[in-house]
Amino acid sequence: MAKALIQVAVKAQKGNCFRTAGDLLAVGVFSDTLAGSLAETLDDKLNGKISELKRMGDFEGKANTSCLLYGQGGISAKRILLVGLGERKAFKPEVLRKVASQAVSKAVDLRAKSVLLSLHGDVPASAKLDIAAVGQMITEAACFGAYRYDEFVTEKGKRPASVRATLVDADAKKVTLLKKGISAGMISGGAQNYARTIANRPANVVNPVTLASEAKKLAAATPGLRCTVLDKKQLEKKGMGGILAVGQGSATPPRLIVLQYVPAKASKNAKTVGLVGKAVTFDSGGISIKPGEGMHDMKFDKSGGIAVLGAMKAIAKLKPKCKVYGFIPSAENMPGAGSYRPGDIITTFSGKTVEIQNTDAEGRMLLCDAIAYAEKLGCSTIVDIATLTGACVVALGQKRAGVMSNDDTLVEQLKAASAKTGERLWHLPCDDEFVEAMKSKIADLKNIGGKWGGACTAAAFLSQFIKKAKWAHLDMAGVGVWGANESDAPGSIGFGVRLLTEFVCRTK
Ligand code: BES
Ligand code: MN
Ligand code: ZN
């Protein structure tokens, strides 16, 4: 099927970026001052051209702007891309990610095969970032910016098959540290792009069965990663009524994909973390069918599961000390003669019964079985991630995922990981009043609450399937899936891959 996407290579090299050959040299420009930055040196070499651009107002160094220069004598690179860093005093790590990604993306558009980056030199000391972390961020951003999803486009134009980013620094010690960051960044950035591709594939290509084969393929190719798949018969035997109910209207049966990473030298008291991701390969709503507008985007309803798949790929390579399970319950939610119906009462894996009031609230039916199973297999910390509710998008918009939990320390740990990876989170409640809203008169629970607080009632529903484990739920319905992302490639941004990876790697 698929033709290979753009290959990205990142390396670090000792040298002077102005005297290094390349197709494109990216230089950051602050909007408030050139003083002390690489741009100041470049401005001298270009006889004050950058200052002049600023004076004219053509390019002021504002965030999200850039300016391409050609034919500059004395600079070895064929082109120079000035990228706006915004105000120096307002510098945030996200600025660095943004400009590095912007520069590599521009290189792809220009069909420039090699891009030189010396952006790390402009990170203010006040940002408190060590140089290896900066190298990692730039590498992840380079992977992100180079990404285009075109495996089904038969006429690919002249986009390059590969792009190479080189981080240049005159100091050999810094180059060594940058290299350290680059190796970590290639793992996490590579896993993120892998996840984007699987998420971007349409529902006629990725269904529960083909997704399970993909997971098996990944595990076979990744030392330290194991994969088992529960098929329909095994799900029936285990009593996973939630997963089965959602899948029963589709021509393709549901699956529960179980990935496992076991550290080579697992200590006796190594923690076991469970990552659980919703993978509805297409959410039509089922019998409670969705309106037609925008329904095609419901191929992205597998994004939580794919985030877990991508994270497991990275985790197996980064080798943390804890044991990690990845659970990916997958089904296609379709209307049909065999579909589950509003009014049905489903017995879930936990033994709890659920009255279905809306077949479009299907994600929680998959997740409730998978999180209960995770706890049964010994996970003491469980993090689930899902494109679960439109209500979460209404509440938080498209830049933050909601986090709900039964443990405030776990929320803090997730937030700490989020601060490093830039995948933003916002803490929302899921306590008593929301639990109350999910009680049914004819079963233990119902699958929808009232009119208000839909993201919170969904999380409160899930919380009822945890016994003792520390649990957090990430609602990523709004984030980086539906168009409004900051990438030049429409579709998935692979949200959650780096966040889950970072979180797990911080777990002792
Ligand atoms: N997959 C959707 C949630 C969703 C909506 C994700 C929009 C991304 C964008 C989920 O399965 C769903 O349909 N949720 C319903 C729940 C409702 C029936 C209680 C929703 O949000 O409308
Ligand atoms: Mn739905
Ligand atoms: Zn859904």
Say which CATH architecture domain 7-197 belongs to.
3-Layer(aba) Sandwich (3.40)
**What are the pLDDT digits (tens) for 275-309?**
999 999 999 999 999 999 999 999 999 999 999 99
Name the residue ranges covered by the structural domains of the chain: 7-197, 223-506
Express each pLDDT in 14-62 by its tens digit: 999 999 999 999 999 999 999 999 999 999 999 999 999 999 999 999 9
Query: Any residues with CB less than 8 A from the CB of 315 and at least 6 apart, and which?
Result: 261, 324, 501, 504, 505
Question: Active-site residues: which are they?
Answer: 290, 364
Give the mutation target among 389, 448, 479 for probing the ligand 1 site: most ligand atoms within 8 A of CB. Answer: 389
Mean pLDDT of the 325-344 span? 98
7-197 and 223-506 share one fold? no
Fold for the domain defined by 223-506: Aminopeptidase (3.40.630)
CA of 305 to the centre of ligand 2 (A): 15
Per-residue confidence at 489, pLDDT binned at 50, 70, 90?
A: confident
pTM score, whole prediction: 0.97
Most informative mutation of 293, 360, 362, 475 for ligand 1 (most atoms within 8 A of CB)? 360
287 Cα: distance to centroid of ligand 1 (angstroms): 14
Write the DSSP assignment of 285-314 as a string of letters: -TTSPPPSTTGGGGGGGGHHHHHHHHHHHH
Q: For residue range 409-425, what is the model confidence (pLDDT) as tens digits?
A: 999 999 999 999 999 99
Task: Kindly give the distance from the C-alpha atom of residue 362 to the centroid of ligand 2, in angstroms, as a whole number.
Answer: 5
Q: How far is the CA of 387 from the centre of ligand 3 (A)?
A: 6
Q: From the alpha carbon of 458, which atom of ligand 1 is closest? A: 19
- At residue 1, the pLDDT reads 45
List, as ranges, residues with CB under 5 A of the ion ligand 3: 280, 283, 301, 363
E strands within 345-424? 345-347, 353-355, 381-386, 401-405
